[in-house]
Structure 1
């Protein structure tokens, strides 16, 4: 029978359906979500986008499962809000799971919507932001739920290196769902969220271990121990602010360059820079103090600040140009490279290279961490990741040797031989196979042992080796250091190098892809 309703009646029906679906799980569940200290799926999107720019896609999606009471289930938008919006004036694609609808559980249509949004982001060349708040796979949908996860993972990988992907963990994220954030570029986790593959109850039943959800998958566990996340946010609002800050440094996609800001051209001599780094290589300092004086307005977005603290990574600008900073942290174990710090740096170098972000490397490294724990843990292959990442990079690489640069760790910190385009060194730079004290023990062992006063002889030989090799001038004579500069000249020298290298082009061998040392 023909539908004889008027246009006004049809519009009224549309508005009712939209209002029902936009209400998610209903007012009671929405209030329960807010009472728990979390925002709703649509409130999070409203905080993220500019004004009223969000356009929802897939509002009327429904699950197709009829088993286990699913035929009568009312699940507006199938528990996830997807669409497009503008953030800081730039288009983005967004997916936000709705915990008020079936606990945000991921079924076939739920995951299909997310996968379609990912694919659309790749087609349009826009960043993708996924706000996670889900109880996990929708068990009632069986294999269809698992298949949905697979679709999302596949699209995450397709987008990798093509458009930036940011995950916000704003609630539970368990089981297979945790792998989608792990495949994105950055993970921001709130204090209200937990993320793990198997929960405390399963671990207790299988291994006998007693652990709380917070100890297992809380933000501190992931920041300090697993290294799975990049930022901790106190709440949903701060998570959104971090995401916006991140986006401000990034291009829309790998075919573009980050926006360059105007008005940051001051590169005057900095009289205070020389006071930060002690001339005594045994004395500590905070390399973030150097970074603050190097970058525009001291504005540095540190990434993974609580993980692998012997190295510092993050995004900043120098004369308005986005740069990635990699720096040894001398105040933590003298800035030594270990398994975790190698992984941390290698990941960041690859990310910057994928999105046309020049890399500035600040070097003060005594070497790779010795010990059986590191050797058995695979420091060789983990350290090789840094060698690989820098060698593969095609973006401008500017290296500044502040103080120590010893052994293989010197090479791993973007040495000239690994492709650095410009290597600058302070007068305090010590570039050698090892420190003078260790080298003297090896090279002059016989002379020291035969001396009437071994300690005095040893001190003499240490000084001789120091003068002969542990300076920037030997490396400069070999062409491995381009310029020896005063600390106060650092910002100007780095800015000039970045300007000269702005149109860098590096030919790479024809191949499908390299194989990162795992």
Structure 2
């Protein structure tokens, strides 16, 4: 770190004798030294450190593989020369961009430098506003500042620099955003327009406009954290995940990208070419008893996911899971994430019966639609573990437009062109149950466990509706209860999943301990026999040439 003095370049003081280009190279080297060396006397840098935030180049070092960053636009900025024409100081643009590698994977990254005018447009160069594959957001990312009006001598129609590139990047490559400070205006929109976003607890906030603007508009006097902290946006679905620190956020982005292809024109990568230490025929005895015999009892669905997908080895050699959950803090009745089966990347979709019984509510529906859409976009087959009691009901469900959002989830499942492997673990009731249990009208593989329980309505509520007059005619409450139990006993014999299987209403009833082996066999077939032809159609349709444009025409 600098002591506040100007760094010296190796060719500083070179005189121009007209014989070669050393003077120009000396100035280039001097500018690089200025912009790439932290200046502890700079007020913006001091504020960054006082807020316990990493400097922008420290962030790049933490995110990218060592010595892999190749900067684009490294000398973009505003120079100040003295009377002799020598460079006295240099204010860089507040956006850094370039290529690097994350665990060996080549990426294009843009990073906001909040130390330069807080990330506002008057601290940047509008030509330097590309949309990177990875975005490190801290400020407005090219958004406005009224101070620009005085500099220009006029106001202007709002510009959205880089938005066109943002849209193009979203259509072709995985885009991940880390929120690393106050993320405002255009930056907030960029965060929402990502395939994966993560904010740091206690460090980052997101809002369309900050507290001063809100105070004038709505007369609310709110802190940044109260207005747009993680407890707001990580629970309403604007942001996917929460990190405990900046390095944790970078690690989550790296893990997210590890499951996805370089672009929509390629297959998702296989880990170690399938050389996993976890046998595909591993059988977990706990799966036999994980679903309670008493249907009203809950269980830990994430433990099921971890038992079925590939295990992983961390750096200390302890066994973990390849399951990477996305959106754990919002739409909590639905569980989504990425994992591996036999080394292959898959999406994981299921429900959490400990949250509202696992019923599909408005936020859960939005979560399903977004997640399934992302998997379909990047060609990730989906492991679909079903325990779906139906849509959430009641006044709260109606006020939040559950059915409208639920219809979007149904459409995403129905229209998905990637294969799904559906395992009905327990309930599949009503419209929502049907959407999850048969998402493509027979196009995909579907099996069930002996704990399966399905129908147009759950028996208990269905009997109440179908036999209401008879039950209400009972002479006493006790007699009504006795008749209700008699009816339940009559129906109990026909609700067993084996009855459905005998009529070929389900492809197969399987031993839960065989689920991993069957799913691994399925995904192997999908990646070798199904996805390549699907990909070939897309490559031809879009005239793919083998390289994917990103940013301002730069190619991965």
The alignment's TM-score, normalised by the length of structure 1, stands at 0.87
Displacement of 1:296 in angstroms is: 0.9
Displacement of 1:319 in angstroms is: 1.3
- Superposed CA deviations along residues 182-219 of structure 1, whole A, max 9, x for unmatched, are 11111111131111012223333332334321121111
Take 2:187 and 2:155, find their aligned partners in 1: how far apart are those partners? 11
CA contact (8 A) 2:350 2:386 kept: yes
Displacement of 1:276 in angstroms is: 1.6
Take 2:525 and 2:466, find their aligned partners in 1: how far apart are those partners? 41
1:374 aligned partner: 397
- Is 2:165 the partner of 1:139? no
- Superposed CA deviations along residues 271-294 of structure 1, whole A, max 9, x for unmatched, are 111222112110011111111101
- Is 2:104 the partner of 1:81? no
CA contact (8 A) 2:359 2:388 kept: yes
For 1:45-444, what aligned pairs fall within 5 Å after superposition? 45-62=60-77, 76-107=91-122, 110-115=125-130, 118=132, 128-134=133-139, 136-141=143-148, 150-191=160-201, 192-224=203-235, 226-261=236-271, 262-263=275-276, 264-297=278-311, 298-415=321-438, 417-418=440-441, 421-444=444-467
Structure 1: gaps spanning 5 or more residues = 65-71, 119-127, 513-518
Displacement of 1:398 in angstroms is: 0.8
CA contact (8 A) 1:416 1:423 kept: no
SS of 1:484's equivalent in the other structure is coil
SS of 2:339's equivalent in the other structure is strand
Displacement of 1:495 in angstroms is: 1.6
CA contact (8 A) 1:95 1:130 kept: yes
CA contact (8 A) 1:26 1:100 kept: no
SS of 1:160's equivalent in the other structure is helix
Change in CA separation of 1:417 and 1:241 when aligned onto 2, cut-off 3 Å: closer
- Which one of the candidate residues 490, 493, 499 is aligned to 1:464? 490
Take 1:160 and 1:78, find their aligned partners in 2: how far apart are those partners? 24
2:526 aligned partner: 501
SS of 2:92's equivalent in the other structure is helix
Change in CA separation of 1:284 and 1:41 when aligned onto 2, cut-off 3 Å: same
CA contact (8 A) 1:24 1:76 kept: no
Aligned residues: 491
1:69 aligned partner: none
CA contact (8 A) 1:105 1:134 kept: yes
Structure 2: gaps spanning 5 or more residues = 1-15, 80-86, 312-320, 542-556
- Is 2:35 the partner of 1:9? no
CA contact (8 A) 1:178 1:195 kept: yes
Displacement of 1:93 in angstroms is: 0.3
CA contact (8 A) 2:360 2:388 kept: yes
SS of 2:485's equivalent in the other structure is helix
- Superposed CA deviations along residues 469-504 of structure 1, whole A, max 9, x for unmatched, are x33235434544211112211111222222233332
* Larger relative helix fraction: 1
Displacement of 1:168 in angstroms is: 0.7
- Superposed CA deviations along residues 76-130 of structure 1, whole A, max 9, x for unmatched, are 3311111101111111001111111122223595443232x54xxxxxxxxx001
CA contact (8 A) 1:63 1:107 kept: no
For 1:466-485, what aligned pairs fall within 5 Å after superposition? 466-468=492-494, 470-477=495-502, 479-485=504-510
Take 2:88 and 2:481, find their aligned partners in 1: how far apart are those partners? 83
Take 2:436 and 2:125, find their aligned partners in 1: how far apart are those partners? 44
For the pair shown, which has the larger CA radius of gyration, 1 or 2?
Answer: 2
Take 2:158 and 2:279, find their aligned partners in 1: how far apart are those partners? 49
Take 1:305 and 1:73, find their aligned partners in 2: how far apart are those partners? 51
CA contact (8 A) 1:75 1:101 kept: no
- Is 2:49 the partner of 1:34? yes
1:122 aligned partner: none
Higher mean C-alpha displacement, 408-417 vs 296-305: 408-417
Take 1:449 and 1:30, find their aligned partners in 2: how far apart are those partners? 74
CA contact (8 A) 2:324 2:339 kept: yes
Take 1:147 and 1:234, find their aligned partners in 2: how far apart are those partners? 39
Take 1:332 and 1:420, find their aligned partners in 2: how far apart are those partners? 30
Higher mean C-alpha displacement, 13-22 vs 188-197: 13-22
Take 2:40 and 2:437, find their aligned partners in 1: how far apart are those partners? 55
Displacement of 1:447 in angstroms is: 4.6
- Which one of the candidate residues 463, 479, 491 is aligned to 2:516? 491
